[in-house]
Amino acid sequence: MRSLFVTAALLAVLATPSLAQDRFVAIKAKKVITGTGQEFSPGMLVIRNGKVEAVGTKVSLPPKCEVIEAPDQVLMPGLVLARSRYSLPSRRRSGNNSHLDVRKELFPRPGDMEDLLKAGIVAVALIPDGNGVPGRAIVLRPTDGEVDDRLLAGAGYLRITMDRLPTDKLTLRGAFKEAESWIERIKKAREAWEKQQKSAAAAAAAKKAAEAAKKKAQEQKGKTPPAPKPQPKPAPKPKPKRSSSSKAAEALGHDHDDPNEGIEPALAGVDPESLDAAPTPKRPTRPTPQTGKTFTPPKTPERAEVFMTFLQKPKEGPRVLLELGGASDYLHFVDGFGERKLDPFLYLGNRGTESDLFHVIDKIGESGATVLLHPRITYEPYTRTQRNLPLELSRAGCPVAFVPTQSLQGWREEVALLIRAGFDREEAIAAITKRPAQLVGLGTELGTLEKGRLADVILLDDDPFAPGATVQRVFLGGEPVWSAEEETE
């Protein structure tokens, strides 16, 4: 029934006048994994102008549609790597750097991200290194070219660490205090400006009322104000008498025998021609108070603006990835900043093979936060008791997303081991596609094969969690960008 519905919907689209200008590509595969819980065997994906148009078992193809045959391969959404320092140099930051990102750390070189494509990754979030509030992550396509050309606009998040106590806690507390002080400063400046506006308006009204009262009094007495008397003109100054020497100098062709004769004493000894070239002294300028009709707030530091947004308009603030190393880190965050409404995603960075985070799984589950972590089995500290944290978090109600523990190529194999340990397969697919896409802000564009989403897809030679399965082709926007066959040639 679903295939019939998809076919009918596609035929309706084909009837539109713009069809002749559209570019269609169809990929036929042994299996199509949509990432929404549905799989088609065999399956077909239709791409229109770089976006998913239809998916199903039998889909009618439009005219002039390019068809890519992959009868022995599996098609699925491309993987999204939500946290990485791939290809970035070591450059640690500390303190509040919420206004910075990693763009200035990138020096693109041809083929510098080819290993990501080989692993089937279609988007990568590059994080700033350091602790406290190191800055913002950006999300790139793993292709060649300038950074701005590869940048996925609007994606990314603010990275905050809470795994180095008490330093990280003090940094975050200081960032909020600085924001609060600037909010108070702007509030006082606005109040002063409003007071000034009221005083100016009252003075203008009083002046207008006085003039009206004066005019009314004059009208009642029938008098008009007397015209101002003309001021007498000042008498001309007498010309200085000329000496006999100056008359003699005139007779000889000279103007004066004394160059300073007839010049006021204050200018005696000064060359008259130099007076024209003398610069006019500038008056010292004073800062003028705000007198306009529009209030201009004091300029705030860029690092404070993000946290001011968290305090005043939390829904408009950036996404936050809060990094924790242990159970106590989470408790410190909740105790110190639980009321701040940061609503962060959580990254649980397991330190080695041991973790005590199982102590706070219930509390994290109550928050409903999406959790990013490594797909592996850990041990309770100082014991050989195994803990499957991804499975426990999923059962507690937390959406789970994965990042590789070490190797990009071994990422799917790590997830496969969790599936064998009881983790749900559909949740595992979402944890490397849909969930990380949501975490970085691309939840409506990547991660599933739904109509209107970007056709960033991969073809594998087997099921993604089968031992030894490898990526064969990668498509971005429906266009091939990497092929294993071309790699071996």
From CA 454, how far away is CA 23, in angstroms rounded?
Answer: 14
Task: Check residue 338 and report its DSSP letter.
Answer: G
Chain CA centroid to CA 449, Å: 26
Cβ atoms of 430 and 79 closer than 8 Å:
no
Which residues make Cβ contacts (< 8 Å) with residue 194, sequence separation at least 6? 295
Which residues make Cβ contacts (< 8 Å) with residue 423, sequence separation at least 6? 388, 390, 391, 394, 415
Classify domain 1-78+447-489 by CATH number.
2.30.40.10
Residue 77 dihedral angles phi and psi, to the nearest 5°? -65, 150
Residue 428 dihedral angles phi and psi, to the nearest 5°? -65, -40
User: Per this entry, what is the length of the chain?
Assistant: 489
* pLDDT of amino acid 282: 52
Cβ atoms of 433 and 464 closer than 8 Å:
no
Going by DSSP bridges, is the β-strand pair 24-33/39-40 parallel, antiparallel, or unpaired? antiparallel
Residues of the chain with CATH 3.20.20.140: 79-196+298-446
Which residues make Cβ contacts (< 8 Å) with residue 471, sequence separation at least 6? 117, 118, 119, 120, 458, 459, 460, 484
Residues of the chain with CATH 2.30.40.10: 1-78+447-489
From CA 355, how far away is CA 337, in angstroms rounded?
Answer: 23
pLDDT above 70 as % of the chain: 81
Indicate the SS3 state at residue 452: coil
Residue-by-residue DSSP string for 90-149: P-EE-SB-TT--SGGG----TTTTHHHHHTTEEEEEEPPEESSB-EEEEEE-SSSS-HHH
From CA 40, how far away is CA 465, in angstroms rounded?
Answer: 17
pLDDT in tens, 179-205: 999 999 999 999 999 999 999 899 999
* pLDDT of amino acid 266: 42
Helix, strand, coil shares of the chain, percent, nearest 5, are 35, 20, 45
Give the H/E segment covering residue 26. strand 24-33
From CA 115, how far away is CA 262, in angstroms rounded?
Answer: 92
* pLDDT of amino acid 315: 87
Cβ atoms of 415 and 402 closer than 8 Å:
yes
Which residues make Cβ contacts (< 8 Å) with residue 344, sequence separation at least 6? 160, 320, 321, 322, 369
Residues of the chain with confidence (pLDDT) below 50? 1-17, 248-249, 251-252, 254-278, 281, 284-288
CA distances from 282 to 270, 272, 279, 286, 288 (A): 22, 22, 9, 12, 17
Fold type of domain 79-196+298-446:
TIM Barrel (3.20.20)
From CA 368, how far away is CA 350, in angstroms rounded?
Answer: 20
Going by DSSP bridges, is the β-strand pair 345-348/371-373 parallel, antiparallel, or unpaired? parallel
The pTM assigned to this predicted structure is 0.79
Cβ atoms of 52 and 452 closer than 8 Å:
yes
Report the 10 Å Cβ neighbour count for 278: 8
Longest Cα separation, the chain: 126
* pLDDT of amino acid 289: 53
pLDDT in tens, 43-102: 999 999 999 999 999 888 988 899 999 999 999 999 999 999 998 988 899 999 999 999
Phi-psi region of 448 (alpha: psi -120 to 50; beta: other; left: phi over 0): beta
From CA 481, how far away is CA 473, in angstroms rounded?
Answer: 8
Type of residue at 253: G
Indicate the SS3 state at residue 322: strand
